Structure 1
Amino acid sequence: MEIAVLAPIVLLAYTAQALTGFGASLIAVTLGAHFMGVDRLVPVLIPLTVAATGAIAWKERAHVDRRLLIKRVYPFMGMGVIAGLLLYEILKNAAPEWLLGLIVVGFASRQLWVHVRGKEGDFTMSPPASFLLLIMAGIAQAFYTTGGPFITYAFMGEHLNKAKFRATLCTVWFSFNSFLVLAFLFNGRINLNTLKITLPLFLALPGAFFLGDRLHTLVSEKSFQIITSILLILSGFPLVLGSC
């Protein structure tokens, strides 16, 4: 039953991943949480994310912004991931999902307003703010594998085109989620029970790659940015409402 319910969610989530470079975990966690606890769901999804993002990152490797990864993302988001793993052992299920939802909706609503008004070029972000967002992205990634809202907002000031945006984000997810898979194996969050659910769900990934890649080719840069912001808002609201 869990596999049957999660399969269409995985198809939708990883289609969004192939389209924009992020969103799979946000969509899958927020929708899947209605049928399975988040603490169980995250270890089920993370091997799928490693496979999906690794395939996209390799295919689009020519578009990866390596300077951005080495100088900013890996050092600061890496600190956040380590801090998040330590905090998880302390907080366990007490992590505030509603707070993540509020931040997601707030950031994405502001950015959607910028795109609709046509003022994308006016958006700037100070280095300290960007570094803080990357650290928060690492913490959220360790807790929920949903660091996308924070790193997406941090990337907005870089003015990457849609190809660089998607390829660079997928490289980030592949790198950090590969590390998290090892950490989850070590602490027992990934085990035979989770793998029994994960393995059949891999069958949904080829269809998601095809649909997402076709959509990525068809949409314009501005439409891509608007879709990204709307995706964040729709993904964030269930986290907020789930606490009501």
Structure 2
Amino acid sequence: MSPLIYVLVGITVFITHALEAITGFGCTVLALPFVTALVGVKTGVPILATLAWILALYIVITKWRFINFKEFGVIVLFVGIGLPFGMLAFKNLDAKILKKILALFITLTASWQVYRRITRPGVVSNSDANGESVNCPAAPEAAISKTFWGRLPYYLILVVGGMVHGAFASGGPLVVLYASKTLTDKGSFRATLCLLWTTLNTLLLINYLRSGVFTAPIVSGTAGMLPFLAAGIVAGEKIHHRVDGDLFGKLIFLVLLITGLFMLMF
């Protein structure tokens, strides 16, 4: 990796991982087009997967008290239901077309939510003992039903997310749509999603280890990105604690919108 490539990849890692440190998602899908263009898919994907795992694990370890284990269990259950169907049903279909359909759905949904949050007044933030905002990331929205049938449409979103993830590992945005309605504060939203990414990426990294993916260039490349990752975590943490719940809700769907656009373009 030349010095110029190293700096460009590092800047990309810093920006995208700072965003995930703020919101709890988005670093890999946002960084992937740029990093793989610079270093190639076989090098870029394992590096980004490892960095994403480290970031998510850091959030889980340091913010474990914010994890909503009940909602985490719900997400894993319904995503798990969809996962094998995705592996089977999409095996012989055109993945590129399906990805574009998914990207269009995410882009339209996120655009509508961003528009609503800009044009509608935000809710008054509640604060915890440390003075941090704790209102719902999805505000301003009606509270989601607590009954099974009331939540069924959102459970179906998770199942579809599992199918999409099983087909081509891009189901995360659909999980975010569910989480934005059910997790009650920004800290819980971020920590619970990071527990999910830690779980999924642990399985992925185990598979990489078994397959001999971690060659010397990938290990050295990952190590070289650690300072940029650390800087992104520090910056993201500071911003996360200063963003109120209303702005956090806007930021979630803005990142989702950018994610959808990236999926459409690349």
SS in 2 for 1:176: helix
Higher CA-based Rg: 2
Contact persistence 1:21–1:169 (CA under 8 A): yes
Match of 2:195 in 1: 171
Contact persistence 2:86–2:163 (CA under 8 A): yes
- Identical positions, percent: 22
Match of 2:108 in 1: 106
Match of 1:206 in 2: 230
Give the alignment's TM-score, normalised by structure 2.
Answer: 0.77
Alignment deviations for residues 179-205 of structure 1 (CA, whole Å, 9 cap, x no partner): 1211233345x3315334323212211
Q: State how far apart, in whole Å, the 2-side matches of 1:96 and 1:122 are.
A: 31
Which moved further from structure 2: 93-102 or 105-114?
Answer: 93-102
Contact persistence 2:26–2:255 (CA under 8 A): yes
Contact persistence 2:95–2:168 (CA under 8 A): no
Q: What is the one-letter code of the residue matched to 1:22?
A: F
Cα drift, residue 23 of structure 1: 1.1
2:263 corresponds to 1:239: yes
1:162 corresponds to which of 186, 190, 201 = 186
Give the alignment's TM-score, normalised by structure 1.
Answer: 0.83
1:43 corresponds to which of 42, 46, 57 = 46
Q: Does the C-alpha gap of structure 1 residues 25 and 122 become closer, same or farther in structure 2, counting only changes over 3 Å?
A: same
Contact persistence 1:30–1:235 (CA under 8 A): no
- Give runs of aligned pairs for residues 50-89 of structure 1, distance below 5 A: 50-70=53-73, 72-82=74-84
List gaps (5 residues or longer) in structure 2: 122-138
Contact persistence 2:107–2:257 (CA under 8 A): yes
Q: State how far apart, in whole Å, the 1-side matches of 2:166 and 2:35 are.
A: 18
Kindly report the root-mean-square deviation, in angstroms, between the aligned alpha carbons of the 2 structures. 2.9
Match of 1:121 in 2: 141
Q: State how far apart, in whole Å, the 2-side matches of 1:111 and 1:139 are.
A: 24
Cα drift, residue 21 of structure 1: 0.7
SS in 2 for 1:120: coil
Q: What is the one-letter code of the residue matched to 2:62?
A: K
Q: What is the one-letter code of the residue matched to 1:24?
A: C
SS in 2 for 1:22: coil
Cα drift, residue 99 of structure 1: 3.1
Relative to its length, the structure with more helix (as a share) is 1
